[in-house]
Amino acid sequence: MPLDEEQRLSLNRSKLRKILSGENSQEFGNLTDASGNGIRNNSTLWVIADEETPESLLGASLLELTTKDELDLVIFFENLQNARVTQRRASVLNPPPSIFFLSDGEPVPVEPIAIAGRDNVQTAPSEFDELCLKFGLKSICECGTWKGEILGLEVMRVTDGEIEVGVGKFDREANSLMGSDRPLSEVLASAVEIVSSSRNPGSGLHPLSRLARERWLRADALANPEMFGFENLTCVDPPRERESLRETMPAAAIGIDKTGERVLIVFSVGVDICLVSFIADLISIERPDRVEVVLPEKDILVPVEKCLSYLDVPLNIKGVVGGWETPTV
């Protein structure tokens, strides 16, 4: 029988106490339960990884730190790969958390693992470029795949040299089966009309308006880079490809500011506990001089600001009005 949430947390805290009991050289004093898989004293928060992804665990742990000033963070992993991934991200933080792999129950330090190399970009078919131009789509090559987007929402992509139309995998498959007798431009025109009518100010309740809002913010910035202090912006691949249309993931771009600095601009919505891990990986890849995080104004919250302050790079936060919001006068 699977453990319920409280049993799982209790088991993980017991594991932590057992690990710390073996550290005879240190006196930890009074240990209390923290939220999630953690325990703490007056100086340190200890966390053990469980079912979370490495990026969400690091983010949740940093959020926990924001509730108690000046705590050191120590994270234990039973999965070596996840420990090495988190060590890579921790190296971009200040102060850096201590990351350990539990080898037969004993904590050992780990070396960071490098980010996988990027695939070579293939040239898009000429028909893809023509359709993007005809229907006003933003042409983006992401993780080796060419995509045509409207306000950050994909309506067309190239797969194995073939052009597919639709919003998401299932829509593309349905269009492929049902629209085989229709001209591709006709199928695309229908998709463009549906998405365009659903992504505009005041459309916040429409399902298509709620998808990929981070990419919507980026699309607005790509169309008006001067509002952000740049002549132009270039899309940046995420550290890994999104698994589905509904997966929440920040979007990013690179620009050169007026002083010649290379700036990484990251677009996020809400409180995304994976945001710091996302930025940390892109800092390792892109090596920017500074970072700018763009959020809807209502999402600039103190815990978010504190989490971002752990990134060891010059960083500022810019508040904007999302394209789905009705501007107030």
CA 52-3-50 angle, to 5 degrees, is: 20
Rounded distance, CA 292 to CA 310, Å?
Answer: 14
Rounded distance, CA 138 to CA 216, Å?
Answer: 11
- Say yes or no to pLDDT of 1 above 70: no
Comparison of pLDDT for 323 and 90, the residue scoring more: 90
Predicted confidence at residue 70, as pLDDT, reads 82
> Is 303 in contact with 271 (CB distance < 8 Å)?
yes
Strand-strand pairing, 38-40 and 153-159: unpaired
User: Hey, what are 37's tokens?
Assistant: 């898989």
- Say yes or no to pLDDT of 29 above 80: no
Closest CA to 240 of 54, 83, 116, 113: 116
> Is 70 in contact with 93 (CB distance < 8 Å)?
no
Strand-strand pairing, 162-165 and 234-236: unpaired
Of how many residues is the chain composed?
329
User: Hey, what are 162's tokens?
Assistant: 């073939």
3-class state of residue 320 by DSSP: strand
- Say yes or no to pLDDT of 203 above 80: no
Half-sphere exposure of 271 (CA within 13 A, CB side): 11
Rounded distance, CA 192 to CA 185, Å?
Answer: 10
- What does each C-alpha distance from 13 to 62, 94, 100, 244 come to in angstroms? 18, 26, 16, 33
Nearest-Å Rg of the Cα atoms of the chain is 22
Per-residue pLDDT tens over the stretch 79-126: 999 999 999 999 999 999 999 999 998 999 999 999 987 777 788 889
Predicted confidence at residue 116, as pLDDT, reads 82
At residue 83, φ and ψ (nearest 5 deg) are -65, -40
Rounded distance, CA 76 to CA 102, Å?
Answer: 7
Predicted confidence at residue 230, as pLDDT, reads 95
Mean pLDDT computed over 195-224: 89
DSSP state of 311: B
Predicted confidence at residue 89, as pLDDT, reads 97
Strand-strand pairing, 106-109 and 234-236: unpaired
pTM over 0.85: yes
Cis peptide before 95 (omega within 30 of 0): yes
Is residue 23 very low, low, confident or very high in pLDDT (cuts 50, 70, 90)?
low
Domain locations along the chain: 5-109, 126-198, 212-320
Beta bridge partners of 13: none
- What does each C-alpha distance from 89 to 54, 152, 315 come to in angstroms? 10, 27, 16
> Is 217 in contact with 267 (CB distance < 8 Å)?
yes
